Structure 1
Amino acid sequence: MKKGAGSGSGAELISRLDRIPIWPFGSTVLWVIGMGFLVAFYDITNVSFALPKIAGYFHLSSAASAIPVTASLLGYILGSYLNSTLADLKGRRTAIISATILFTVGSLATTFSFSYGWLIVWRFVTGMGIGAEIAAISTYIGEMAPAPVRGRYTGMANIWSFTGLAVVPFVALGLLTHFSWGWRGMFFVGALAGLTLIWAFRIPESPRWLIAHDRLAEAEAVIQNGEARAEKKLGKSLPAPVLLADETHEQKFPTSALFRPPYLGRWLLLFFVWVFMYLSDYAWLGMAPTLLVDKGYSLASSTLFLLVTGIGYPIGAILSAWFGDRFERKYSILVGIVVYALSLAAFGLFPSGATIVIAGFILSVALVFFFPLLYALTAESFPTQARATGVSLTDGIGHVGGALAPIFTLAIYAAFGHTGFLMAFMYMALTAIICAILLPFGVAATRKSLEVVHHEPADSVGVVSQ
């Protein structure tokens, strides 16, 4: 049903939230979602560093050793969809808690896998938890952050996530090069995510989700708490709210809400954006250590290269938070992807130690600059009643590209013989450029209330007024 715009309506409550110029819900919320992101992203790439050791332990071929990566990504797709449906039906907080439990159990069980078959099974379960966590948190942060700072705080949350990527080479260097059981230790570190459950039950539910489910009193209590925190921090009263158009909340199964205009077009566009992005991104994140080892670098050397380039991850996340709301997001993303693609091409063309470090560093900065903004843009494109499901059906199912990436990369590497290294990286660059070409057709949502975005077609606003 549709809420009116009178006193206590959903529209009034959202207008009160979106007038707040800072993050209004306290540091505990940011810490919980930040740690969830950190461990989820750590778990995405830890397997790629562990693969050479796993292959040796279980006596695997190169092709067979890619199966855990593919299994994890297929689990990501299923977990993202199932848990996002739960998020849209039962709440964002419930979904964050269930996702954390899922990938904690998966990581712990992977640690103690003593057959390759069970390792694949538990990496699938871990992947389900990772996909569930990323979709739930992306939806949650997008709904909790007021419109003027949504990009900034999505970027800040992702400082944690890409710090998770950055620490993987450090952990790998400490464990894999010194202990025969080091690959098991890599997975055990991921299981530490379960500690966040101590605080996860204390975070507030999304007021947008509460409004969509006709729980206005609870939504108002959350927003009042945010208003009080913001006024205390700012030392002054908040500006008067500007009443916005209300969003229509139809009580349908979340997926069905996406298969009608304008959401069907947005879903198709973002689905292909994410497919091509993951065809590139997971080829880089999942196969770079293996390609460098096959190129002749030792495992320690290739890990050290990627450790140094990984310093770019937190820098990129800081830039994403800084610029997240200054320019229209879809164009900021496009620029970041082009820089990322050029760095991949340089990596393949000039594979010396110095070039690998320099190009890899620039690549890492660019990757982590645009990824948080792409998560924000994806969540902004869908209605509250199906926002988490929309994220799962784009980013989540888009991981089909991620699942295929190691297979395509290894096939290209093998097919081109002595130029296989170059062609593998040119493949990564090309798929990223295709993604960039699609982006201008997306919605322009920067600094706009989510409710306003749903009444607008895609447009071409390039710079956002301050």
Structure 2
Amino acid sequence: MSMPGLSTGTIAARLNRMPITRLHFRMIVALSLIFLFELGDLNTFSYATPGLIKYWNLSVSSVGVIVSASFFGMFLGAWLGGWFSDLVGRRKALIWSTAFYSIMSLVNAFTTDTTELATVRFLTGIGMQAMSVTGLTYISEMFPKDVRGRYLPESPRWLEIKGRSQEAEKILNDLETEVETYLGRSLPEMRDFEPVQQSAKVPVAELFSKELRKRTIVLSLAWIFVILGFYGFSAWVPTLLVQHGYSVVKSLNYSFIISLGAVPGALLAWPITDRFGRKQSLFVIMFIVAFCVIMYGLAFNETTVIIFGFLTAMLLQTQTALLYSYSPEIFPTRIRSVGTGFTGGLGRLGNVAGGLLVAAIFNAFGYAAVFIYVAAAFLMGGFLIGIFGERTAKRALETISK
């Protein structure tokens, strides 16, 4: 099967015409395991917090400091991890960031005081977010455009940008051979030819060029509000339930039931992401989340706490899956990972203050006020993406980057 030269923009066309193959499913399994342990770390810490308050005699403000340290690390990890991924490649960056995160996550268990825990949470955050940014960029580049919102050789798109055409050609030939063997026929004709600009360096300043400035600012602000809202709810639910008068055991039981909503919530993103588009879906879901959060904060009996807590946790995962798919799509390949890391990293940086802000709001105005603040954050995030965001569904990455 003869192929036009890779310099004419055929890599994207060759990837976009492919069906989902066994290789794609192997990538899904590998990345799913990575994200399983990332979410496990985040959720485990939120459940451990009531115990730390009781047995380490921590105040809510001290917990806020630890949470803030973690998010400052996540900010640095998102930015540095994105830069590293664009520099050395997705596969190598994913391996190194996963190894660093895993070691730091283990070290958490051996801390003995607040200062040690805050330091290790900072380092864990660096590895965690570097790993996430690299993995999400990899998914966006390796899956066909019609299904990439649903889901470890190197990315051919990245290899093309770096001028390593022979390596890209080998990976694509192997993938196409596997697909044609599986289908028992040739692949369809290529379309959507989009030549790309090669770049040996990582042009970080391009994020604020005339062409990309609006996207960078809108997505950065959206991530700030979404992260403030997401972790203002999920990271504080067990702690605030205890402070609201529930026992530690009852708080953890309720938090466990609420957290089960994450499973159907993440799966809900599957049927809607490519059917309705990330932009439109995010706009609607964030407004529904804000309503559920308000109802949760104003709930005065155990049944309504669990119902609206479950719905909030469910839709938060739907929203997160959509936003993680959306973010890498709006940047060109040469700065896709660093753009994703920079914008997502600013969201984590915003939550450095968020941890302290939740504690301050709770101490000054009480339990319900925290959730009014969380709901307002989601409303702002939904408004920014819904009104000013770029449409990405079923569009080639190279077309979006224009």
Q: Normalising TM by the smaller chain, what interval?
A: over 0.9
Superposition deviation, residue 259 in structure 1: 2.1
Matched, 1:451 2:398: yes
Superposition deviation, residue 325 in structure 1: 0.7
Measured in 2, the distance between the counterparts of 1:71 and 1:10 equals 46
- SS, match of residue 326 in structure 1: helix
One-letter code of the match for 1:97? I
One-letter code of the match for 1:344? V
**Map of 2:280 onto structure 1:** 331
**Map of 2:367 onto structure 1:** 421
Superposition deviation, residue 398 in structure 1: 1.2
**Map of 1:411 onto structure 2:** 360
**Map of 1:17 onto structure 2:** 15
Superposition deviation, residue 242 in structure 1: 0.9
Measured in 1, the distance between the counterparts of 2:8 and 2:66 equals 45
Measured in 1, the distance between the counterparts of 2:272 and 2:58 equals 45
* Structure-1-length-normalised TM-score: 0.82
Matched, 1:149 2:95: no
- SS, match of residue 275 in structure 2: coil
After superposition, the C-alpha distances for 1:427-454 in whole angstroms (9 at most, x for unaligned) are: 1001110111111211111111100111
What is the number of residues matched between the two proteins?
399
- SS, match of residue 29 in structure 1: helix
Match of 1:363 among 312, 326, 335: 312
Measured in 2, the distance between the counterparts of 1:429 and 1:72 equals 23
Q: 1:248 to 1:59 in 2, by over 3 A?
A: same
Superposition deviation, residue 146 in structure 1: 1.0
Superposition deviation, residue 132 in structure 1: 0.6
Q: How does 1:5-404 map onto structure 2 within 5 Å?
A: 6-9=4-7, 11-23=9-21, 25-153=23-151, 203-404=152-353
Q: 1:10 to 1:311 in 2, by over 3 A?
A: farther
Superposition deviation, residue 243 in structure 1: 4.3
Which shows bigger deviation, 274-283 or 110-119?
A: 110-119
Q: 1:10 to 1:318 in 2, by over 3 A?
A: farther
Measured in 2, the distance between the counterparts of 1:261 and 1:24 equals 41
- SS, match of residue 249 in structure 1: coil
Measured in 1, the distance between the counterparts of 2:270 and 2:178 equals 21
* Structure-2-length-normalised TM-score: 0.95
**Map of 1:167 onto structure 2:** none
Measured in 2, the distance between the counterparts of 1:84 and 1:351 equals 44
Which shows bigger deviation, 268-277 or 392-401?
A: 392-401
One-letter code of the match for 2:162? H
Instruction: Tell me if structure 2 keeps the 8 A contact 1:24–1:226.
Output: no
One-letter code of the match for 2:240? L
Q: Which runs of 5+ in 2 are unaligned?
A: none
**Map of 2:383 onto structure 1:** 437
Measured in 2, the distance between the counterparts of 1:230 and 1:24 equals 9
One-letter code of the match for 2:104? G
Measured in 2, the distance between the counterparts of 1:103 and 1:120 equals 15
- SS, match of residue 428 in structure 1: helix
Instruction: Tell me if structure 1 keeps the 8 A contact 2:66–2:114.
Output: no
Superposition deviation, residue 70 in structure 1: 1.0
Instruction: Tell me if structure 2 keeps the 8 A contact 1:281–1:402.
Output: no
One-letter code of the match for 1:213? K
After superposition, the C-alpha distances for 1:105-141 in whole angstroms (9 at most, x for unaligned) are: 1111111112332221111110111111111111111
Which shows bigger deviation, 137-146 or 398-407?
A: 398-407
Which shows bigger deviation, 141-150 or 46-55?
A: 46-55
Superposition deviation, residue 385 in structure 1: 1.0
Instruction: Tell me if structure 1 keeps the 8 A contact 2:234–2:313.
Output: no
One-letter code of the match for 2:120? W
Instruction: Tell me if structure 2 keeps the 8 A contact 1:286–1:406.
Output: no
After superposition, the C-alpha distances for 1:293-342 in whole angstroms (9 at most, x for unaligned) are: 11111122122112112222121111111221111210111111111111
Which shows bigger deviation, 221-230 or 433-442?
A: 221-230
Measured in 1, the distance between the counterparts of 2:299 and 2:185 equals 56
Q: 1:24 to 1:143 in 2, by over 3 A?
A: farther
Measured in 2, the distance between the counterparts of 1:394 and 1:29 equals 25
Please give the root-mean-square deviation of Cα atoms over the aligned residues, in Å. 1.7
After superposition, the C-alpha distances for 1:32-54 in whole angstroms (9 at most, x for unaligned) are: 21111111122123212111222
Instruction: Tell me if structure 2 keeps the 8 A contact 1:254–1:389.
Output: no
One-letter code of the match for 2:81? N
Instruction: Tell me if structure 2 keeps the 8 A contact 1:24–1:227.
Output: no
Q: Which runs of 5+ in 1 are unaligned?
A: 154-202, 456-466
Instruction: Tell me if structure 1 keeps the 8 A contact 2:328–2:340.
Output: yes
- SS, match of residue 147 in structure 1: coil
Q: 1:94 to 1:410 in 2, by over 3 A?
A: same
Superposition deviation, residue 235 in structure 1: 4.3
- SS, match of residue 66 in structure 1: helix
